Structure 1
Amino acid sequence: MKPMWTFPVLMTLAACAASMPNGSEVVEPGILKEVPDSVRMLAAPGQDLSTVKIAPEDGCFYYLWNGPVESTFLPLRTAQGNPICTRTEG
């Protein structure tokens, strides 16, 4: 059985290695300073775009959702429910 801290540590290290699209600036490791206009136009309403990151493992955008008990990153989606990513699979 692996220690429970292994996953969070690996996720933190992976976030540090995220590649950003050209022109995007990073405030802290993995967090975009400014969300590209093209992503803002694609994003469905109701998603908070003030804290957005790109996950290095899939190249998709995630936004910080602040719930009543915890905060977590959720996939940024279009109005049709599709994830918004910087690269396609394949």
Structure 2
Amino acid sequence: MKGSSWILAGGILALVGCTDVNNSGPTVSQAHLAVLPEGVLALAAPNQDLDAVRIDAVDGCYVYRHKGPVETTYLPLRTTEGRPICSRVKET
């Protein structure tokens, strides 16, 4: 009887260890921007999906949805020179 109690307690602890206690969700805002500012459109390099752009809540930079052959992910929206496009200046 004692052995099965320890197994049950260990199983419960193992399941609790799998939960996210910080409730840390995605760092990117959930909604795509309906209209991109003209300045962003002028700066953005070609071959980026400008129909699915969000602002990263952590650094304030624009990210776009990239549909790859294996997975869909969000990548930084970049200029033709390769610099990220941000909505606010990074703090140093």
TM-score by length of 2: 0.69
Identity %: 42
Segments of structure 1 that go 5 or more residues without pairing to the other structure are 17-28
Counting only pairs closer than 5 Å after superposition, residues 67-86 of structure 1 correspond to structure 2 as 67-86=68-87
For the 8 Å contact 1:44–1:77, the answer to whether it is kept is yes
Larger Rg: 2
How many corresponding residue pairs? 73
Q: Please provide the CA RMSD for this pair.
A: 2.0
Segments of structure 2 that go 5 or more residues without pairing to the other structure are 1-16
Distance 1:30 1:15 in 2: 9
The runs of 4+ residues in structure 1 deviating greater than 3 Å are none
For the 8 Å contact 1:30–1:54, the answer to whether it is kept is no
Are residues 15 and 45 of structure 1, via their aligned partners in 2, closer, same or farther at CA, if it must alter by over 3 Å? closer
For the 8 Å contact 1:48–1:63, the answer to whether it is kept is yes
